[in-house]
């Protein structure tokens, strides 16, 4: 294992194993509640991932009993209006860095994913959750509203009426509910979450990395384009792969009946 980007006392740990970057929220004593240092650290970690040529997949997870319970209310109670304004300028940058990461990002969710913690998961491409995870955008029960993309991302996943109901009420729900609604891709027993995520990350990492990056870009931009423009974009991104070494390797491997050896070139 290669460890990079964070010190022993940092609230986020980055470790790289093979082609997978593991981003671990590391404040287990407060159920990984997000404070300003954690947001700043996440921003730095995802910048490092963009510069890590060998990384093909990213896993975001939480240490201890929870994925993330949202904002650190103890820190927030001590913040001035100016402090809160500075933090609000930082927060959208963090969620954007995660959402726009060029590599696929998988959330490994267990225990609790509440408020900003659920928004961290929603900013990932794929969510694997424990069946008994307690989830919810609970901000309205605290006199606030989602501020990390929840009002934009949740409707895209579960539909506008259900998203409105969940956000207006601040209702909590389980990983099983989330799977039924399409919010998460997999809901499995808690003991199986890590193995399911590792298997998925390995499967993604085995695919041609340039092709995966271009496919992710095409899918993400599809929500902003009319179908004709989207198809034109897809064709343009496809053309960029035609002369890649990986495409030639994939064709050769298929002809020769062997696994491909992709190099990201």
139 is catalytic: yes
Tell me if 210 sits within 8 A of 241, measured CB to CB.
yes
**Of residues 2, 119, 203, 256, which has the active-site annotation?**
119
Q: What does the alpha-carbon distance between residue 201 and residue 234 come to, in Å, rounded to a whole number?
A: 24
Which residue of the set 139, 165, 234, 249 is catalytic? 139
- Beta-carbon contacts of 80 under 8 Å, excluding residues fewer than 6 positions away, are none
Contacts of 236 (CB under 8 A, 6+ apart): none
DSSP H or E segment with residue 128: strand 126-130
Tabulate helix, strand, coil % of the chain (nearest 5).
Answer: 50, 15, 30
- CA 103-104-106 angle, to 5 degrees, is 135
According to DSSP, the β-strands at 2-3 and 186-188 are unpaired
Rounded distance, CA 194 to CA 196, Å?
Answer: 5
Positions marked active-site: 119, 139
């Amino acid at each position: 294992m290669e460890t990079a980007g964070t010190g022993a006392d940092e609230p986020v740990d980055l470790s790289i194993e093979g082609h997978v970057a593991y981003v671990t929220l590391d404040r287990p004593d407060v159920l990984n509640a997000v404070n300003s240092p954690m947001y700043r650290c996440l921003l730095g970690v995802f910048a490092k991932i963009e510069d890590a040529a060998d990384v093909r997949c990213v896993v975001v997870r939480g240490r201890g009993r929870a994925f993330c319970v949202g904002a650190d209310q103890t820190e927030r109670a001590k913040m001035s209006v100016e402090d809160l304004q500075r933090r609000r300028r930082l927060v959208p940058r963090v969620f954007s860095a995660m959402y726009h990461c060029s590599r696929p990002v998988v959330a490994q969710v267990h225990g609790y994913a509440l408020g900003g913690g659920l928004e961290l998961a929603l900013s990932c491409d794929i969510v694997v959750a424990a069946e008994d995870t307690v989830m919810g955008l609970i901000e309205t029960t605290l006199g606030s509203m989602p501020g990390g993309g929840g009002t934009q991302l949740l409707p895209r996943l579960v539909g506008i009426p259900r998203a409105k109901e969940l956000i207006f009420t601040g209702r909590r729900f389980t990983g099983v509910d989330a799977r039924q609604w399409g919010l998460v891709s997999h809901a499995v027993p808690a003991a199986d979450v890590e193995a399911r995520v590792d298997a998925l990350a390995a499967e993604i990492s085995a695919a041609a990395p340039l092709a995966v990056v271009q496919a992710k870009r095409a899918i993400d931009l599809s929500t902003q384009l009319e179908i004709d423009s989207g198809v034109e974009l897809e064709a343009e991104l496809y053309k960029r792969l035609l002369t890649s070494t990986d495409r030639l390797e994939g064709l050769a491997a298929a002809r020769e009946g062997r696994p491909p050896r992709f190099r990201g070139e």
